Structure 1
Amino acid sequence: MLQQILHDMYIDPELLAELSDVQKHILFYKMREEQLRRWKERETWESLAQDKGLRPTKTKRAASDKHIQWLLGADGEVWVWIMGEGPGDKPYEAISEELIAERARLQAQREAEELWRQKEAEITKKFRDALANEKARILAEKWKVEMEDRKAAKVLEERIQEEFKRKEEEERKRGEEQIRLQEEQRAKELYWTLKQAQLHCQASEREEREWEEQLRRSKAADEERSRRAQRARDEYRRHSLRAIQKGTVAGLSSMFQELGQSHEQEARLYHHLPGPGPPQPLALPV
């Protein structure tokens, strides 16, 4: 029936009214997928046909007074409805939970129907064979009895048939109950399997983001250490040249004092920067 609905892109209103909200969401989602598939297929075919010269290039239509007026929101942009964010909509998590539960229930229902068909066939065959054997036995006995006993044999046959019918009905009820319990158990198993897969996917994405953030911070710390080391080497060369030009011990003493202050400032700055470990001491080139 779903294939027929997707083929016609139409569903009877009475049938639609019997569906639950989750089933309606699933049906509308499938119909939208079918629309997109048909549109992409048509666009691909027209593109191939135009490339191979099977169809003429589309020409612009003459100007027309017909136009489309899109509904605009309060911000002046085209109004868009996002599932789960509209007024009165269920949260996305609730819709996701319902879809997972519905998928699990439908799959378990299909499996239960298949199991019940097999079970019903086994029960029917079992009692049909037993009844056939019993009828054969009764017929064999009936041939041995006298004419006056035929009525009693008929009554016996009917009573036996009723007894077998009662037992068959009891067996069917037990089989239906067993299948129902298996269906419920299977639905729970499928639900938890799908739920665990969803949680695992979310955890993997979170771990990947944390790893990328740690890598970025580590790279930033390495770059900052390289810049500080380069500044220290440049500062050392600059003060060395200045001391040589002055040719005084006082110049060298002032240089080392300035280098010590600069080293303390950089150490305090590095202390506040994020990094994987304690700050490394600045090494002056020799």
Structure 2
Amino acid sequence: MLKQILSEMYIDPDLLAELNEEQKQILFFKMREEQIRRWKEREAAMEKQESLPVKPRPKKDNSKSVHWKLGADKEVWVWVMGEHHLDKPYDVICDEILAERARLKAEKETQELRKAQPGELSSSSKPKPPSSEGRAPGNVREKAAEAGTPGRGCRPAAPLEEQKAPKKESVKKTQDEEIKQIDEERTKQIYKNWKEDSEWQASLRKSKAADEKRRSLAKQAREDYKRLSQRGRSGRGQQGPPGGPQKPRRPPLPPKPQFLSPAGQPHTPPRNERVTRPASSPAHEDIRRWFREEQLPLRAGYLADSDSIAPWFHGILTVNRANELLSTCVPGSFLIRVNEKVKGYTLSYQSENGCRHFLIDASSDSYGFLGVDQQQHASLAELVEYHKEEPITSLGKERLLYPCGQQQEPPDYLELFE
């Protein structure tokens, strides 16, 4: 299954919808790894081709070129947001963006106000001229005394522009300070209104919750990876022969399966009974052929200690049919069905919150959930026994407790053994 998806770099949307969030992230990670592997292969091929002598092309004048910035490791310099210790938290960045938007809006409002009422902002800042009442006589006497003083001539009056220049600078400075103060007060007001806005708060809470969920999923995936890796190494160390690891040999072809009736007794459907099923598509036929040629020799669907079909095994079922079968079962019930989209299996599990589906990779002669390569099982029956005690995920704690068997005759897996 995984090999098929990675070779085509495509997964059917219906199949993708069956996966839980953890398996989706694992699948995207595997597809990204495959993209990088192919890119490295192409780069190596291009470097090999470039090392060959090539006839130089005439360069054009004023030709443009792009040069990538290189880091200390001589690789292309890349900055991943949020991974550096100096990067700001998400809420701090949001606050800064909000404050900048509020500042720009306040400046725009102030400019519009100045255009509409040009004299309103500076009316209060203009200094009033000193009152001349009661001072005119004194001024006249002073001027007369100065004129009658011997040896002192009349001095020329200072130019009018030189007297007005300090006043203009003072008025302009006062106006600028008032405008700055108004901008700051308006910015704080707009920032406070936006900060208290319910929609903004809801969006911020939703973003924080999404970030927390991603961090939690990544942490759980790392814990599952470590736990299953340790368990897989310990299992291989106990079961491995002293002569070194050997590839398991294919078992002989199993005998004709015994179909279990609801009462648990072997039952053979009558020959005159005809199984009605929809017309098979090419993909459907390919999956049937794959099961008969590759999976039957591995005893797929059989019980570990007998030649009977396991009660949890089902044929090629859709996700809707699997949900119907599990809808009447208690939490902890499960079934394993042949996937109708790709060559592999799907474990459908009834939890307290509904039905969940997990892809089982059967690309090699072993079985394991998609992406968890470290814990592989020799058969589907061994996988079921293992997860009766060990949960599938640390978050959901899914343990395989109650198999969901056939609910009608003939069984839905009959077409796979014909």
Higher relative contact order at CA 8 Å, sep ≥6: structure 1 or structure 2? 2
Q: Which structure dedicates a bigger proportion of its chain to strand?
A: 2
What is the TM-score when the length of structure 1 is the normalising length? 0.32
